[in-house]
Amino acid sequence: MLNKILIDSFSKHIHLDINEEEIIEQHLVYKKIKKRQYFLHEHQTAQNSAFVISGCLRSYSIDENGSEHILQFAPEKWWITDMHSFISQGASRLNIDALLDSEIYILSREHQNKLFDLVPKLERYFRIITEKALVSSRQRVLDTLELTAKERYTKFCNVYPGLINSIPQKLIASYIGVTPEFLSKLRAEQF
């Protein structure tokens, strides 16, 4: 049986009957992934997309100076992959690993395409999911254009309240685009 959290994610946007849920289940792989374990390495091809049931994954890139830049946090209920590599089947520029012990469902590109034919409603589900991801990515672009580092930090705390106490602060710094030292100074200004 599919996990309730995944079923909820589907039924928020489309209606699936029992039969369809079963077909979907046959195309997904449930997996536990330990803290610091990798889901995708850069230069590989992203064969898979992951839906997070519990825990948290992240995607990040490494620039030419060797510093990491976090593109996405995926706490429970979120999908994560290197979308560019996943749709083009070209080399990935992102790494994806687990920040906490996590449970995920894995969907391969191949199985996803099969599912689109077997359960056409899933086109709608992924269209809507992707639209929402686009809205949030574009909002992040606007935030970096409009807000100061301090405002971005405050906003981050509101958007990801669960993450603040469960991951190292330097990862938050990386996500909002400041150095760990500077974030520390921002927080010292007044709590």
Site residues for a second copy per CB under 8 A: 61, 63, 69, 71-72, 83-84, 87, 116, 120, 123-124, 126-128, 130-135, 137-142, 144-146, 177
Which of a second copy, DNA, none has residue 181 at its interface (CB below 5 to 8 Å by kind)?
DNA
| Residue of 14, 100, 112, 180 that binds DNA (CB under 7 A) | 180
Q: What's the CA gap between 75 and 173, in Å, rounded?
A: 17
Could you say whether residue 185 binds DNA (CB under 7 A)? yes
Residue at token pair 């669960």: 162
Give 49 or 95: the residue with its C-beta nearer to DNA: 95
Interface region with DNA, contact rule CB under 7 A, candidates 39-47, 73-81, 135-143, 178-186:
178-186
Give 83 or 186: the residue with its C-beta nearer to a second copy: 83
Q: Which amino acid is residue 188, in one-letter code?
A: A
Q: What's the CA gap between 97 and 36, in Å, rounded?
A: 6
- CA distances 90 to 20, 83, 85, 87, 94, Å, are 31, 10, 5, 8, 12
What sign has the CA pseudo-torsion 18, 21, 25, 31? Answer: negative
At closest approach, how far in Å is the CB of 182 from DNA? 3
At closest approach, how far in Å is the CB of 36 from DNA? 8
Give 11 or 184: the residue with its C-beta nearer to DNA: 184
Q: 123: which 2 tokens?
A: 């086109």
Residue at token pair 């400041």: 178
Q: What's the CA gap between 63 and 179, in Å, rounded?
A: 14
Give 121 or 150: the residue with its C-beta nearer to DNA: 150
Q: What's the CA gap between 94 and 41, in Å, rounded?
A: 7
Letters for 144-163 (x = contact with DNA by CB under 7 A, - = none) are: ----xxx-------------
At closest approach, how far in Å is the CB of 92 from a second copy? 12
Give 19 or 148: the residue with its C-beta nearer to DNA: 148
- CA distances 179 to 60, 93, 98, 182, 183, Å, are 15, 22, 22, 5, 6
Residues in contact with DNA by CB under 7 A are: 148-150, 168-170, 177-185, 187-188
